[in-house]
Amino acid sequence: MKVIYQDLASLRDIKEPYRSALAILQDMSVEVPGQLEPLSSALPMNMAINAVQVICEAVQENLVAYVPTIRNEMGKIFRGTNVRINRFDSFNVPSSKELACIMGAAYYVLAVSGILDEHQLGQMAKIVIGYNNKIINPGYFNVFVEKAKEAGQREGAAAKDVVAANQSAADGRRIVLASRRNSDFVRIVQAMVSGGYFTHADKSAVTATEVGQMMLSLFGSNNEWKTMLQRAFSCDNPLKTFDNLRDAAQEYWTKREDLNT
């Protein structure tokens, strides 16, 4: 598989939502709910989250065929043997519980980032839990499903208080998104989050879904961020948005320079 995190030291720069997914994976190697067994310490965390990111990137690149993509990616890291291979060129986990946790971490990322919608996430859960004649214990995978739900609930609660002022403004003075600019807005917010422009007050990282949904609520939009994100990147040239933004910035700063001379 493609090398993203060569070693443990490289995880210092890991971004959200992979950072949170990694935290859950690490917890699963120490303590797990119910009668489940912790993950083996022989599973390198950098290789595990590396596999998660490879899977998520493959799904994002092949959204039209996400079902066979998920199945194909599962087959690459779990080839039905009990042999552990901790090499990037032939990575293989020896147990279904490790496969369930890696796919659960991928589910978490795909859920909180909005790459897959609710229906697609449900289909992914069915694929993982029913993989290879139902050898996967759903308990491992469901830990990540519940964590994704909790993250979504936190994002929703944080957004509620922010919308009050704009929603209470007189109808003609409310700030709303301009007509036909939804996709441009989504692309720009996604790029800003990826570039580290936003953070929580406690310096912890935020997700694009958290920021985007908060802004949509602030503008009084009833749209779902995850749906808008998919639409925003479904066109042939989504980067045209940033060409237009650059032109607008250049025009602004040119005029500003003229005013100062």
Q: Is 9 exposed, middle or buried (0-12, 13-18, 19+ CB in 10 A)?
A: exposed
pLDDT 10s digits, 120-169: 999 999 999 887 655 678 899 999 999 998 887 776 665 555 566 666 66
Which pLDDT belongs to residue 165? 66
For range 80-99, the mean pLDDT: 93
Look at residue 21 and tell me whether its pLDDT is greater than 70: yes
Which pLDDT belongs to residue 174? 75
- Report how far residue 195's alpha carbon sits from residue 153's, in angstroms, rounded to the nearest whole number: 24
Residue with the bigger pLDDT between 99 and 136: it is 99
Look at residue 83 and tell me whether its pLDDT is greater than 70: yes
Computed on alpha carbons and rounded to an integer, the radius of gyration of the chain in Å comes to 21
Q: Are 25 and 16 in contact (CB under 8 A)?
A: no
Which pLDDT belongs to residue 168? 67
**Which structure tokens are listed for 228?**
């808008």
Contacts of 107 (CB under 8 A, 6+ apart): 121, 124, 125, 128, 141, 144, 145, 148
Backbone angles phi, psi at 233, to 5 degrees: -110, 15
Q: How many other CB atoms are found less than 10 A from the CB of residue 134? A: 10
Q: Are 98 and 39 in contact (CB under 8 A)?
A: yes
The answer, as to whether pTM is greater than 0.85, is no
The full set of domain ranges for the chain reads 8-149, 156-246
Q: Which amino acid is residue 234, in one-letter code?
A: S
Give the orientation angle of helix 182-194 with respect to helix 208-218, to 10 degrees: 140
